[in-house]
Structure 1
Amino acid sequence: MTTGPSRTSPDYRSQEHRRSTEVDHDLEPLRQQVSAIIDAILSDTKPEEAHVREKLRQHIKNNPGQPEKALLCHLLAVSVDQDAS
């Protein structure tokens, strides 16, 4: 009998995070909306908001192809930053 990798194994994690094409297709309308929001934030030119745009760019870089996850991470980080102030 063959068993799969344990839950703590890196092999398990890579299988766990595989994305299904069905899920990607279902997320397309959300991704389009999120991309429009991201574009609006990044197109702002206020110098005092430059650090916010840079943080968002980092989240986008860390979540390639997943703008919804990048925006969520950005919003959570902004929320934590505001709570700390």
Structure 2
Amino acid sequence: MSDIEYEVKKMIIESLKLEDITPEDINSEEPLFGEGLGLDSIDALELGVAIRQRFGIKLETVSDEVRAYFANVRSLSRFIGLQQGAQ
């Protein structure tokens, strides 16, 4: 697990106030929404705010491409890494 993946897992747990779950409990390939971690659209909004606060990345528009990055921890970590590299 990369450092960014671990940070993303911690951010998910902290920002969504998930109890009784640790970063190690979240599979990086597990879907974040629906089956898998079971997050919903409100959670997605809260995650967007947490990403902006923790990583300084602002999500201007929600496109299909951005939505795809929110599929799982690994793809979200990749997105954050790409955005940090572009800054």
Higher RCO, Cα 8 Å, sep 6+? 2
For the pair shown, the structure with the greater C-alpha radius of gyration is 1
TM-score norm. by structure 2 comes to: 0.30
TM-score w.r.t. the length of structure 1 is 0.30
